[in-house]
Amino acid sequence: MAQQSSVNPAQLVNLGQQNLAGDKRALYLKLFSGEMFKGFQHNTIARDLVTKRTLKNGKSLQFIYTGRMTSEFHTPGNSILGNTDGAPPVAEKTITIDDLLISSAFVYELDETLAHYELRGEISKKIGYALAEKYDRLIFRAIAKGARIASPVSATNFAEPGGTQVAVGTAEADAYNSAKLIGAFYDAAAALDEKGVSTDGRVAVLNPRQYYELIQAVGSNGLVNRDAQGTALQSGQGIIEIAGIKIYKSMNIPFFGNYGVKYGGAVTTPGNTGDFIGSDTALEDGGGVAGMNNNYGEQNSFDTTCGLVFQREAAGVVEAIGPQVQVTSGDVSVLYQGDVILGRMAMGADFLNPAACVELYAGSSAPAAFGATYPANA
């Protein structure tokens, strides 16, 4: 009687040169799906900070935004048929799914055979990083867009508040000044209070140098959560708060026309930055670009942007396909003597409630609005 073999999923990374069938192939795919999703989940922060919905059918999803109502005293004998002003006013926001977002790599079997290390799991993780990076960048651009927009509800006597822009200063160096940043945060918090935005889920996203500038000032300004100590303060995961706003750090926010950082002005380049940091990461144009079905703004729209403060209702993200991994097999693997590892997702993002969006900027004037037509993305 033939002995039944068992498969250890941890060992499947060494079986790339074999045609795995049935449950073995399923375990193989599950392993790399786990690596990709772990890479994605550990590197996206925006996904859990905004409103997320899943699209089952169609190319877009509608969100309903309602304005406020008034109260009045009842006159005895009068029928109650709803307020005569027709409140509440309603606006509908449509978020369209962008084209399929992918990241992929071809793994040559001979390279795996000769390598002294496991390759596919690491590639899957880096694919997750790439998808998470784009995911966050689009959401943060949508929030900046919302901060520049008037309210979608503009009914007579029932106009709702729109977005908010707060000046940190007039020069690029002001964006790294802890005292000016703190002042801007209190201004942002006051504006959100005045516009009736819930205190639940208020967050901010800054670039790393801004975040660390605040860390160094915690001894004098009382920002720190006293329950957190040591390296937890440097995590960038919302430990520090200003005016009840949890602060995160990210290299994916629009920052002076780049992603995350801008060298050559107030910040000296550390050197050897490669192709993905600083002046090499200028924002791609996001208005009418192939694949982008939502207007994420042109590159020069963010030349003075230096941070975001928002609440969960600020933006919505619609996912038709969540982060997934696909791996070639069978005849395809034989024909090319290797496999393609593909990560994919289909999503779209845009602002929802402009009142919940605050853009920090450093310049002589506030950045101009774009995509101002509501609910369209034009």
* Distances in whole angstroms, Cα of residue 30 to Cα of each of 23, 100, 331, 340: 10, 21, 21, 15
Provide the pLDDT for residue 222: 53
Confidence band (pLDDT; 50, 70, 90) for 40? Answer: confident
Backbone angles phi, psi at 43, to 5 degrees: -120, 0
* Distances in whole angstroms, Cα of residue 36 to Cα of each of 31, 276, 329: 9, 20, 18
CA 124 from centroid of its chain's CA atoms: 21
Asked whether the predicted pLDDT for residue 265 surpasses 90, the reply is no
The pTM of this model reads 0.84
Q: Which position has the higher pLDDT, 76 or 107? A: 76
Say how far apart CA 253 and CA 306 lie, in whole Å: 8
- Three-state SS annotation for 302-325: HCCEEEEEECHHHEEEEEEEEEEE
Backbone angles phi, psi at 82, to 5 degrees: 95, 155
* Cα atoms in the 13 Å half-sphere on the side-chain side of 221: 20
89-145 pLDDT tens trace? 788 888 999 999 999 989 888 887 777 667 778 888 889 999 999 999 999 999 999
Provide the pLDDT for residue 188: 97
56-73 pLDDT tens trace? 888 999 888 777 887 888
* Cα atoms in the 13 Å half-sphere on the side-chain side of 114: 5
Structure-token match 């109650």, residue found: 80
Provide the pLDDT for residue 336: 85
Question: Any residues with CB less than 8 A from the CB of 232 and at least 6 apart, and which?
Answer: 239
Provide the pLDDT for residue 2: 40
Provide the pLDDT for residue 120: 79
Q: Which position has the higher pLDDT, 334 or 25? A: 334
